[in-house]
A and B are shown apart, each in its own frame.
Chain A
Amino acid sequence: MCLAVPVKIISMDGDCAETEIAGVRRRVNIAMTPEARVGDYVLLHTGFAIAVIDEAEAEETLGILQEIASLSEVH
Chain B
Amino acid sequence: MKFIDEYRDSRLARGLANRIAQRSTRKITLMEFCGGHTHAILKHGIRQMVPEAVEMRSGPGCPVCVTATADLDKAIALSRLPDVIIATFGDMMRVPGSYSSLQQSKAAGADIRVVYSTMDALELAKANYGRPVIFVGIGFETTAPTIAAAILAARREGIKNFYVLSLGKLTPPVMKALLDADGLRLDGIVCPGHVSVIIGSRPYEFIARDYRVACVISGFEPLDILLSIDKLVEQIEHDRPAVEIAYARGVKPAGNEKAREIMENVFEVADARWRGIGTIPASGLKIRTEYERFDADKAFPVGPEQPLREPEGCRCGDVIRGSAKPVECNLFGKACTPETPVGPCMVSGEGACAAYHQYGLPENLQTL
Residues of chain A whose beta carbon lies under 8 Å from any beta carbon of chain B: 1-6, 8, 21-22, 29, 31-34, 41, 43, 45-48, 50-51, 53-55, 57-58, 60-62, 64-66, 68-73, 75
Contact = CB atoms under 8 A, between A and B. Distances in A.
Given A50-B198, A65-B16, A68-B12, A2 B119 contact: no
Contact of B197 (A1, A50, A58): A50
B197 A4 contact: yes
B194 A4 contact: yes
B2 A41 contact: yes
A1 B143 contact: yes
A65 B12 contact: yes
B143 A46 contact: yes
Given A1-B143, A54-B250, A61-B249, A71 B194 contact: no
Which 5 residue pairs across A and B have the least CB separation, nearest first?
A69-B15, A47-B117, A57-B248, A58-B249, A72-B18
A51 B197 contact: yes
B146 interface: yes
Contact of A68 (B16, B149, B193): B16
Contacts of B89: 1, 46
Interface residues of B, number: 59
Contact of A47 (B22, B34, B119): B119
A46 B89 CA distance: 10
Interface of B: 1-4, 6, 9, 11-12, 14-16, 18-19, 22, 34-36, 61-64, 89, 91, 116-120, 138-140, 142-143, 145-146, 149, 192-195, 197-198, 220, 223, 227, 230, 246, 248-252, 256, 258-259, 262, 348-350
> Which has the most chain B C-beta neighbours within 10 Å: A32, A45, A57?
A32
Given A62-B6, A65-B227, A69-B14, A48 B149 contact: yes
Contacts of A65: 9, 12, 15-16, 223, 227
A22 B4 CA distance: 11
A2 B15 contact: no
A38 B142 CA distance: 23
A47 B259 contact: no
A8 to B, nearest CB: 8
B2 A50 contact: no
Contacts of B119: 29, 47
A6 B118 contact: no
Main SS of chain A's interface residues? mixed
Contacts of B116: 46-47
A62 B251 CA distance: 16
Contacts of B6: 62
Contacts of A72: 14-15, 18-19
Contacts of B256: 32-33, 50-51
A48 B144 CA distance: 11
A46 B91 CA distance: 13
Contacts of A8: 2
Given A31-B149, A47-B120, A65-B16, A53 B63 contact: no
Contacts of B64: 1
A48 B117 contact: yes
